[in-house]
Amino acid sequence: MIVVLQRVSEASVKIDGEFKAEIGIGLMILIGIEEADGEEDIIWLANKILNLRIFPDENGVMNKSLIDVDGEILLISQFTLQASTKKGNRPSYIKAAKPDIAIPLYNQMIQVLEKDLGKQIGTGEFGADMKVALVNDGPVTILIDSKNRI
């Protein structure tokens, strides 16, 4: 499971021209799920996301977590994060999980984040053509791969 998280001052997602979700200060997260992912990846990533100290403290040092700043989350599924570009010029998505695997894992990630954060998070819609807008604060952008946790 791969996530790209961006510290934002605001973010939103539109589907068919309608706002699906909007957040203020927090994290806009793109998540790519592969066939080999499971519950252990979700638990590990959720803990990392919520406790990663990337928000500024009173001295401007990145020393606070999303929980510390009472931030929000916008979680967007993005299978293209699983692209392989090793061969040729057309990305291969062979590692990307099919919807029957990816949707339940995406929904489980939503549930875990909401439970651990203590509030509802914003989401996109799995498989939809989405328009995502954000103001990257910092900018701070971090890539986390659950397969590189050991």
Task: Indicate if the pLDDT at residue 26 is higher than 80.
Answer: yes
Task: Indicate if the pLDDT at residue 57 is higher than 80.
Answer: yes
The mean pLDDT value for 41-66 works out to 97
pLDDT bracket for residue 144 (50, 70, 90): very high
**With pLDDT > 70 as the criterion, what percentage of the chain qualifies?**
99
Domains of the chain in sequence order: 2-148 (3.50.80.10)
**Mean pLDDT, the chain, integer:** 96
Half-sphere exposure of 149 (CA within 13 A, CB side): 16
Q: What is the pTM (predicted TM-score) of this model? A: 0.94
Which residue type occupies 3?
Answer: V
78 in active site: yes
The mean pLDDT value for 73-85 works out to 95
Q: Among residues 6, 55, 79, 82, which one is catalytic?
A: 79
141 in active site: no
Q: 23 and 6 in contact (C-beta within 8 Å)?
A: no
Q: Among residues 6, 19, 55, 78, which one is catalytic?
A: 78
Summarised one tens digit per residue, pLDDT across range 94-128 is 999 999 999 999 999 999 999 999 999 999 999 89
pLDDT on residue 149: 82
79 in active site: yes
Cα separation, 51 vs 144, in Å, equals 13
Q: How many degrees, rounded to 5, is the angle at CA 35 between CA 34 and CA 36?
A: 95
Q: Among residues 80, 111, 120, 141, which one is catalytic?
A: 80
Beta strands per DSSP E along the chain? 2-15, 18-23, 26-32, 55-56, 62-64, 72-77, 122-123, 130-145
Summarised one tens digit per residue, pLDDT across range 2-23 is 999 999 999 999 999 999 999 9
